[in-house]
Structure 1
């Protein structure tokens, strides 16, 4: 084979290896991972009932739930870390939207990493990147909850940061979103310290009103029911138990009982949680359960997965972080929810270690190919030299 032809062949193989590795790791790898996911089937749906105790059924709402994206800010975020992790979340989200087509997407807080202290200029830059990464069609509704990194921990939050967050996402941080007879209760759990702070008082007042509205909706749905005492002027919702979504988990001692591949590392599971920092306080958790009696609670904050049953009847699922920055194997929840039932399945994204291994393997193969080419060319030159030298002597 001519020398120039060998060189072009090796160069083409090296270029193909680089481009192929990049294309697979940055685009294609998300497809086989998410294609393994599917919306829960009806046979997996857990039986449920309306608030009035009567079975209810309708077409299930397809809800995608993720948490703790932690878009890095200008102060503590390294440019390469920001580029790598945000690209991963953008490709994962866009691929999931295209393949799974959810009707509604919930992000359970800590959208930003530095919202608690970012300047207005940095905040606007973070918001712009968020809208680019999590762009969606009009067929999908995006609902965002507030987390402690968005407005600060309880002692850091103020009205300016809360209203700045609510203005960006065009909604109050505590409200009920109703879709085809399903009530999704959104709770600003950062403001549930119960110490009488102005924001805490406002959120608690709104929660009490929402609890009253739901109870009045129940009463009005019962046979012979109508507007009863204390329900004048209340807003009516579908008479079904709500699905409660919030950033902080309800109170639990630790993650010791949590299992599964997305649970906290074994060395961390027995660490005790701090009330009002890692989880809500016992008092706040008890009030939420008594006010709303949710059929399902979805929370974030811990960056790890866990399933807990409160009072032997209120299931809670902690949703892991969506970002490689917080865990090697991010995931999200697929929920099929109807007024009378719900079913959940978990969808795992590609592991960051897998991507690194693919790049390392491809790099090693290309290096071996380059070295083999160099050795082969060196040997060819030596043979050619000996041949020419022998021919010269024969003359």
Structure 2
């Protein structure tokens, strides 16, 4: 009987591998319940709900990608995107920075190769509306930041102004994306431009909420180096503003605890061992800023006061985190979606419900690189055994 099966064993093995590839390419998503008891998630979906897929830290190499990255990692990342789009059917894709692994070092021609790689990864869904913000790997450190250097990269993506910020409305939901890298720089013209954008959005929020420009007290931001932002009393309630998109997380006053992540055995702050692992990969661990960077406390408070964000989405740490700030603002940190950063990549799927202001957040995990490699090794062993 074993002899009869032996000639068809390679074919069975290859077919099994194809089925396995399709299976592991489909994301596994789990809703993360909000710690706010007033938020009750409606189980019934409404066709008018806005569904958003959020990814971060793609760390693409463009023309500098080797054969292993091009034929293995990039191939599977494309499958992950395709299967995620097919199963979740998002209305919008948001990329929260670090599209490139070495973008701050690239020439314009090499940056174009990264863009081509990004579009190839989206495949047939490249026409899906998307918004990309710039991360520290895309634009570098404070010493590298200037309008000219940022503008030609910001112009590569829809909705970004020359300073790397954006504001748009999609499905009646307002979004504001900020160049968080610039907010780390104490004395930089680009930082001042980002502050002006925050002020502009704050003014528009007051006008929309209060219905009159006369009730707004406009103030000019001093160009100091100590983040001594001008304070003004606001009658706008917390959570009344736009959805805020950042690359760097906001400052946290509570030990960085993350709610709802125990199910994924994840923490918001990488351990020393994890940092060593990232550095050993040669990409994710050796960036312009380390993974523990957050926005300064005063910049964080200023953003809360000026924008009153409905919810905040950030990235950079490579880890998923669901954190509630002292004023009740929820911040979700999007994990890295690349094997270049970690063995278990993932992303966030968010549903903004049509009725009320409820936001449903799901953590989606995708296959580990080690699982795929073990499967390939198993197939090779079976294949060669069948040839003996």
Q: Give the TM-score band, short-chain normalised.
A: 0.7 to 0.9
Out of 343, 351, 361, the residue aligned to residue 344 of structure 1 is 361
How far off is 1:20 after superposition?
Answer: 3.7
1:153 and 1:142 map into 2 onto residues whose CA distance is: 26
Q: Which residue pairs with 1:252 in the alignment?
A: 252
Q: Which residue pairs with 2:209 in the alignment?
A: 218
Q: Which residue pairs with 1:314 in the alignment?
A: 329
Distance 1:254 1:25, change over 3 A: farther
2:376 and 2:312 map into 1 onto residues whose CA distance is: 39
Distance 1:349 1:254, change over 3 A: farther
Out of 153, 178, 191, the residue aligned to residue 187 of structure 1 is 178
Q: Which residue pairs with 2:214 in the alignment?
A: 228
1:67 and 1:46 map into 2 onto residues whose CA distance is: 29
How far off is 1:360 after superposition?
Answer: 2.3
Q: Which residue pairs with 2:82 in the alignment?
A: 94
Distance 1:369 1:265, change over 3 A: farther
Q: In structure 2, the residue corresponding to 1:37 is in which secondary structure?
A: strand
2:156 and 2:15 map into 1 onto residues whose CA distance is: 38
Stretches of structure 2 lacking an aligned partner (at least 5 in a row): 41-45, 219-238, 277-288
Q: Which residue pairs with 1:359 in the alignment?
A: 376
Q: In structure 2, the residue corresponding to 1:298 is in which secondary structure?
A: strand
Q: Which residue pairs with 2:194 in the alignment?
A: 203
Which structure has the bigger radius of gyration? 1
Q: Which residue pairs with 1:111 in the alignment?
A: 99
Please give the residue correspondences for 1:70-219 in structure 2 after superposition, counting only pairs within 5 Å.
70-74=59-63, 77-135=65-123, 137=125, 140-172=128-160, 173-219=164-210
1:40 and 1:251 map into 2 onto residues whose CA distance is: 22
Q: In structure 2, the residue corresponding to 1:47 is in which secondary structure?
A: coil
How far off is 1:159 after superposition?
Answer: 2.6
Distance 1:99 1:39, change over 3 A: farther
Distance 1:361 1:344, change over 3 A: same
Q: In structure 1, the residue corresponding to 2:155 is in which secondary structure?
A: helix
How far off is 1:175 after superposition?
Answer: 2.4
Stretches of structure 1 lacking an aligned partner (at least 5 in a row): 49-56, 221-225, 233-238, 372-395
Contact 1:331-1:347 within 8 A present in 2 as well = yes
1:64 and 1:329 map into 2 onto residues whose CA distance is: 18
1:144 and 1:194 map into 2 onto residues whose CA distance is: 21
How far off is 1:80 after superposition?
Answer: 1.1
How far off is 1:322 after superposition?
Answer: 0.5
Please give the residue correspondences for 1:60-79 in structure 2 after superposition, counting only pairs within 5 Å.
60-74=49-63, 77-79=65-67
Q: TM-score, normalised by structure 2?
A: 0.76
1:141 and 1:266 map into 2 onto residues whose CA distance is: 36
2:29 and 2:148 map into 1 onto residues whose CA distance is: 40
Matched, 1:13 2:12: no
Q: State the number of aligned residues.
A: 340
